[in-house]
Amino acid sequence: MARRGTDALIAVALTVASAAGAGADVIRAMNAEKIREAIAWGESAPEADLEQYDLHQDRSYVVNCDTPFLRVAQLARALKNQNSALAAADVSPKMTSETFTLYVHARFDPAARIEDFPEVEYVTISRPGPSDAPAQVVMPTAFQSFLRRVPTAADYDGPARLAHSAKAVFPLSALGTASQLKIRFHGGATQVVKLDPALLARVR
């Protein structure tokens, strides 16, 4: 994704075919029972199941996120790997807050020039308004753009590839049917991507 000196907007449509998609399956209220469930799952689930939830994969960038349930599970696994255990009482309100953290990262492409890697500038989400009202824009409650080394293939022996990633925190209510993730890059084109409901069905 080449830099052309102008801002670009990529709209990733987080759409699902029915209420059985991500908006319905995300665990929003992390009460004591759900916290214990997340801890048990984190201590026993395969490592791959505890990775960030994929929302979209493009040739040049990836979008993924976490949720309160996943955050607790990931912490439980991390402590288990250190021969320790996470108690439900030790889980902080911040970790279980009704938010999801969205990440946008450049993806390694050996054929791309270093200057062509996407540079993320900002992220917002829009949702359809009631009836004929304009779309509602949801701003992140926290946002960070940071320089990140792009993971490369095991057999790659060229120079390090660096690109700006984004970390944005949104209310869980913004992750639902017909929401659109708007990613502003330094340069690039505009595209709309409809996500696979099978990917969204994993989100808890």
For 110, phi then psi, to 5°, come to -60, -20
In the prediction, which pLDDT does 185 show? 87
Sorted by where each begins, the domain ranges of the chain are 7-200
Assigned token pair, 22:
């991500």
The strand pair at 120-127 and 179-186 is best described as: antiparallel
Angle between helix 68-81 and helix 32-44 axes, rounded to 10 deg: 50
Tens of pLDDT along 121-137? 888 988 777 777 888 88
Rounded Cα gap, residues 199 and 196, in angstroms: 5
Quote the pLDDT of residue 8: 52
Query: Strands 53-57, 162-171: parallel, antiparallel or unpaired by DSSP?
Result: unpaired
Q: Which of the 8 DSSP states describes residue 124?
A: E
pLDDT-flagged residues of the chain (< 70): 1-25, 110-116, 177, 188-197
pLDDT tens-digit readout, 130-178:
777 888 889 999 999 888 888 877 777 777 778 889 999 999 988 876 7
pLDDT score of 106: 85
